[in-house]
Amino acid sequence: MRHALPAHLTTVSNPRALLAIALDWALIIACFVAAIRFPHPLVFLASAILIARTQLALAVLMHESAHGTLLSQQRLNDIAGQLFAAAPLLLVMDFYRRGHLQHHRAPMAADDPVAITFGIDDYPVTREELRWRLFKDATGIGYFLSVRRLVRARERARTPLRTASQGKAFHAIASIVAVQGTMIGLLAAAGHAALYAGLWILPAVTLLPLFGRIRAITEHAGYRASEDQRLSARTVVRRSWQTFFVGPHAIHYHIEHHEYPRVPFYRLARVHTLMAQQGRLPAANLYRSYGQVLKDVSQLANTGSH
């Protein structure tokens, strides 16, 4: 049975959310500035890695907005989530929200959009297969395969859009055009329009899917659907450089998030502590590193599921 939480743990703090948005975008801008001022291959590489990591952080903020926990006022929550998080990633948050809330109803079920998009429904796999999947992501192949899987899944479940949904889609697409156009325009004005492709689009189709797959594997791969969602998710229990790159904005507290999806990301650490004190975190689903998860979900290919 899910325990009730103290009210303050579900309270949305607009200043904390806005600070998170501002810091993510400040890091992105700093990476572009560094690449412009210091045009060296190592600077480009470091900038691409950090931008991809921060694109993942924006995806997590979009995820917060999808749950209605980014900003306290629903309309502003949706606008901020689309404009500052989804649109930069060429995504429509309303479509993402529908799929993600379906994921929360039954993680790792046959129709779970997360399992379908990231292809995590067949773990454990062999070590060679895991390496091949990560290689495909790092080279951009995985991005296009994921898009194809998602499109096919939507086609199988296609239903006519309501007029309201069409209106939301129009505004979302307009926001995507505006955000991408602004980025290109600013870079062009600085005389470096090519950086839009090299430092925004290229990381988005290579390193971002790589980070995203590792995150998705860690969260659910190797588990089966369960009425008790604590048993179909993992938590990485400590912050580190790994959570900086793969679990930004406390998304690595994933058991806690599934147990209490209305808790804002900056309060999940406290929920983790509370659940641990209550003995409500399954020990087998707690990990200290992402590497250990990858090792387990590949090593277990011949010995059964975790």
CB-based contacts of 186-191 (< 8 A; 24+ apart in sequence): 187/32, 190/36
Q: What are the DSSP E strand ranges found in 239-285?
A: none
Please report, in tens digits, the pLDDT of each residue of the chain (306 residues total). Answer: 678 899 999 999 999 999 999 999 999 999 999 999 999 999 999 999 999 999 999 999 999 999 999 999 999 999 999 999 999 999 999 999 999 999 999 999 999 999 988 889 999 999 999 999 999 999 999 888 877 776 776 666 544 444 446 667 788 999 999 999 999 999 999 999 999 999 999 999 999 999 999 999 999 999 999 999 999 999 999 999 999 999 999 999 999 999 999 999 999 999 999 999 999 999 999 999 999 999 999 975 555 444
What letter would DSSP give residue 12? -
Which residue type does 271 have?
V
Distance between CA atoms of residues 116 and 152, nearest Å: 10
DSSP code string of 110-164: TT-HHHHHHT-TT-S--HHHHHHHHHHHHTTHHHHHHHHHHHHHHHHT--PPPHH
Which residue type does 166 have?
Q
Token couple for 164:
């309201």
Neighbours of 34 (CB within 10 A): 16
pLDDT at 161: 44
Neighbours of 27 (CB within 10 A): 14
Encode burial over 260-275: b for 16+ CB neighbours within 10 A, e otherwise. Answer: bbebbbbbbebbbebb
Distance between CA atoms of residues 9 and 17, nearest Å: 14
* Angle of helix 127-138 versus helix 290-299 axis, rounded to 10: 130
Q: Cβ-count burial of 157 within 10 angstroms (0-12 exposed, 13-18 middle, 19+ buried)?
A: exposed
pLDDT at 155: 61
Residue 236 β-bridge partners: 287
Distance between CA atoms of residues 188 and 266, nearest Å: 36
What is the end-to-end Cα distance of the chain in Å, rounded?
23
Token couple for 17:
């959310």
Residue 26's contacts (CB-CB under 8 Å, 6 or more residues apart) are none
φ, ψ (nearest 5 deg) of residue 221: -60, 140
Distance between CA atoms of residues 134 and 299, nearest Å: 16
Q: Is 207 left (phi over 0), alpha (psi -120 to 50) or beta?
A: alpha
pLDDT at 144: 86
φ, ψ (nearest 5 deg) of residue 205: -110, 5
Q: Is 11 left (phi over 0), alpha (psi -120 to 50) or beta?
A: beta
pLDDT at 305: 46
